[in-house]
Structure 1
Amino acid sequence: MSIAVIKCGGSILDNLTDQFFGNIAKMQEKGIRPIVVHGGGSAIQDMLDKLNVTCSFVDGLRTTSADAMNVVEMVLSGYVNNALTRQINDNNIQAAGFSGSDAQLIQAEPINFERYGYVGDVTAVNTLFLQRMLDSGVVPVIAPIATGGDGSRYNVNADTAAGAIARDMNADRLIFMTDVPGIMQEEEVISNVSQTEIDHMIADGVIFGGMIPKVKAAAGSLGEGLSNVMIADAHQRISMSGFTGTIITK
């Protein structure tokens, strides 16, 4: 059985095309079982602004107070997850939406509570639950809300959640779907990059902002079962050889 974890960035969720859903269907036809993890950046920020809840970004991560955590959960689990799951089902693909807090699907602990607030780092994934969904032919659609050992909720960066799920599920591939064709340098796509090169590119400012947690999550998910990760344009047409973008290797 081949598993592919597909992470959809918040910036692309409002503009997903038939091509994107067709690619998921093609994966299933090839015997690949997809798991979709999504963010919701712009929708979260819009609601935070409407409710006058302030937050900031530190190292590419959204700082999350208790009030902000309520908004994050409301938007990710209540709106974005339902909307994306419905779209997938509308394209004749059986999908079911979950918050990471459902069935303790994602468990986490605070990265640095004083610095980031309720922002979590994944400590465990309920792989048995996900395996049951995949065995039933269902595409799990996951909002990156996690629970801690003390019952607290945590906002987990969607890139980090996707990487942890790919690692713990022994996925064959992990694809970060974005609105750009990959990691860019001087307006050109870098086709291949190693973990060591990523560190240098972050230090040199080539990789910055929200791309930092994305590439760190991608690199951190690499292991014996997952030798490379791809950052790719969500709107491209999948070919016989798969997606094209930036491939990150160990």
Structure 2
Amino acid sequence: MQKKMQVVQTLLDTLPFIRKFSGQTVVVKYGGAAQVNPELKEKFAQDIVLMHLVGIKPVVVHGGGPKITQLLGDLGIETEFVDGQRVTSKEAMRIAEMVLSGEVNKEIVSMLNDHGSKAIGISGKDAQFILARAKDRSRWGYTGVIEEINAEVVENLMKEHFIPVIAPIAASKDPGEPGFNINADLAASRIAVALKATKVVFLTDTPGVLDGDGQLIGTLGSEKIELLKNEGVISGGMVPKVDACLEAIRGGVQKAHIIDGRIEHSLLLEIFTSEGVGTQIVH
């Protein structure tokens, strides 16, 4: 009986958060170990479906970098990263689109559908939902920068109670272009702003943003972030993540979170508990 009462109390403890976030849009950037480990994939799917069932409107934006790198390696195509972002040659662009829009996107959609939700996968090319330009063609190739997002495409899907699952491949305004590979963190940020999301949550393979001693920083503002970047404490792949968080906050998203996707149900812990997990980025 005691265990049953604990379950009831846990459910009651979530009520204020369910009430607060019901009807709100939450964008989740899905990547890292949570996208690879079979058990974590199941927990993630359960988290998203539960959020959807209690009235939250989740939108999943996913990466797929390790699978892209693996296939490029199998095909003998070199991979280069600058400041945590992939340099995308024309050959790499074809592989990125195949992996992201094909393999990864459909795997996530199937996983969510298997858990009883109604998920649908799209990329930025669908209905030209995301339009982009080259970041710097000579240096970055077909790595793109988002210029426009047609939020209505995703909003219409949510009105029909779909969970949108978005691959970060953008269309180009110029006919004949193969499109652009978009950093998934930055795509999640821009999509969150366009959808007027309450939160954007980034699942990573670290506890959050760490200080110079390797300790978790619970809350960060823009000034502290710039200081840590200048000191080299925030570097590599964490740079586009914190930049994406700042862009979201400046665009009107209430809070951005960088959490440890290696923890089971970290998404629910972040949204439905007062303590939360990871690092929150605030104004």
**Same fold by TM-score, threshold 0.5 exceeded?**
yes
CA distance in structure 2 between the partners assigned to 1:209 and 1:160 by the alignment: 15
Number of residues of Structure 1 aligned to a counterpart in Structure 2: 250
Deviation of 1:12 (Å) = 2.9
| Corresponding residue of 1:241 | 273
TM-score normalised by L of structure 2: 0.84
Q: Which whole-Å CA distance do the structure 1 matches of 2:245 and 2:215 have between them?
A: 20
Does residue 195 (structure 1) correspond to residue 219 (structure 2)? The answer is no
Give the Cα separation in 2 of the matches to 1:224 and 1:17.
30
Alignment of 1:1-250 (within 5 A): 1-15=23-37, 16-151=40-175, 152=177, 153-185=179-211, 186-223=213-250, 225-234=252-261, 235-237=263-265, 238-239=268-269, 240-241=272-273, 243-250=276-283
- Distance in 1 (alpha carbons) for counterparts of 2:251 and 2:142: 31
**Alpha carbons of 1:225 and 1:31: their partners in 2 closer, same or farther (altered >3 Å)?**
farther
Q: Counterpart amino acid of 1:216? A: D
Which residue type is aligned with residue 203 of structure 1?
N
Conserved? CA contact 2:118–2:162, under 8 Å: yes
- Is the 1:175–1:232 contact (alpha carbons within 8 Å) kept by the matching residues of 2? yes
Tell me, which stretches of 5 or more residues in structure 2 are unaligned? 1-22
Gaps of 5+ in 1: none
Paired amino acid for 2:75: L
Is the contact between residue 35 and residue 41 of structure 2 (CA under 8 Å) also seen in structure 1? no
Larger radius of gyration: 2
Q: CA deviation at 1:224?
A: 6.2
Could you list the structure 1 runs, at least 4 aligned residues long, displaced by more than 4 angstroms after superposition.
Answer: none
Equivalent residue of 1:189, what SS? coil
Take 1:99 and 1:223, find their aligned partners in 2: how far apart are those partners? 25
- Partner of 2:20 in structure 1? none
Is the partner of 1:206 in helix, strand or coil?
coil
Identity rate of aligned residues, in percent? 38
CA contact (8 A) 1:5 1:37 kept: yes
Instruction: Give distance in 2, aligned partners of 1:126 and 1:99.
Output: 12
1:190 Cα deviation from its structure 2 partner: 0.7
Q: Which has the higher strand share?
A: 1
Paired amino acid for 2:217: I
